[in-house]
Amino acid sequence: MNNIKFTNRSKLVGKKGKYDYYDWEVFVDEDEEVVKKVDHIIYFLHKTFPNPIRTVTDKENKFSLKSRGWGEFEIGIQIFFTDGQSTQETYRLDLSKSW
């Protein structure tokens, strides 16, 4: 399977010290046919996050992962397909994509 596209959205929720804090969500940016082929996704967040390795199985919400933070970073992503194959991607969280 070719690369799976991801996107994100974020919302400024306040300030903590000198940092702006955002609620953010990253998810698969593909149509239903592609989403149906995915079994689950493991997201690898920055090591400063509590529980930085997170598994998502929710196809209905395009394997959405929601969290909160103050900075942008590369998210490691391992995608497991229903046919038993897997692939790895990275996605750069962009806090300027608001909802």
Q: How much of the chain, in percent, has pLDDT values that exceed 90?
A: 94
pLDDT band at 99 (very low <50, low <70, confident <90, very high): confident
Residues 6-50: tens digit of each pLDDT: 999 999 999 999 999 999 999 999 999 999 999 999 999 999 999
Q: How far apart are CA 6 and CA 22, in angstroms?
A: 18
**Under a CB-based contact definition with an 8 Å cutoff, are residues 9 and 92 in contact?**
no
SS3 content of the chain, % helix, strand, coil (to 5): 10, 55, 40
Residues 51-65: tens digit of each pLDDT: 999 999 999 999 999
pTM for the predicted model, two decimal places: 0.94
Query: Domains of the chain, with CATH numbers?
Result: 6-92 (2.60.40.1970)
